[in-house]
A = this chain, B = another copy of it.
């Protein structure tokens, strides 16, 4: 199983590094070796400058990534990405092939603009809730949720909520025990929805 985390210039650092940490830690501590592979992917395959001048290299670009079973679309300054037809097309195409699609923070805007989200229950960063409602009135935008699970589409709140959601994905796919062990290894207090 391959987990692809989509990154881009001005993506929020913790939006992608938090989920990466969760999935790679889960792989490390799972009883079964290599239960999945996690990688960063972007449009070009070349280095990205995330927010604050953080330079990170994706493992793959659009042209050479392996099949993606779980697609994670992160947030940040998404206003440039949302205008790129090639990116939106890729997100839509990969979402149709993937088993699960997830967004962190304002990644929900990219999923909505790509047509992956239509009338689901969703969430995003608390600061962007009004804007998401205004831009995509068919969505049911929920507040005060760490994540919203609509089966094969899961959206999370802002920044660190992506860590909570990623633990939920580990739990959903491999069981709550591995998710709890992963949180313990990360010394992370897993905030679940109440």
Q: A-side interface residues toward B, CB under 8 Å?
A: 12-14, 17-18, 20-21, 23-25, 27-28, 38-40, 47, 51-57, 59, 125-127, 157-161, 163, 185-189, 191
A146's nearest neighbour on chain B, judged by CB, is: B187
* Chain B residues whose C-beta falls within 8 Å of the C-beta of A159 in the assembled complex: 21, 25, 185-188
Closest 8 CB pairs of A and B: A24-B52, A17-B17, A55-B57, A14-B21, A160-B188, A158-B187, A159-B186, A13-B21
With contacts A186-B14, A187-B160 taken as known, whether A56 is within 8 angstroms of B53 at the C-beta atoms is: no
Q: Work out how many copies of this chain go into the complex.
A: 2
* Chain B residues whose C-beta falls within 8 Å of the C-beta of A157 in the assembled complex: 187
Q: Quick one: which of B24, B52, B127 contacts A27, CB cutoff 8 A? A: B52
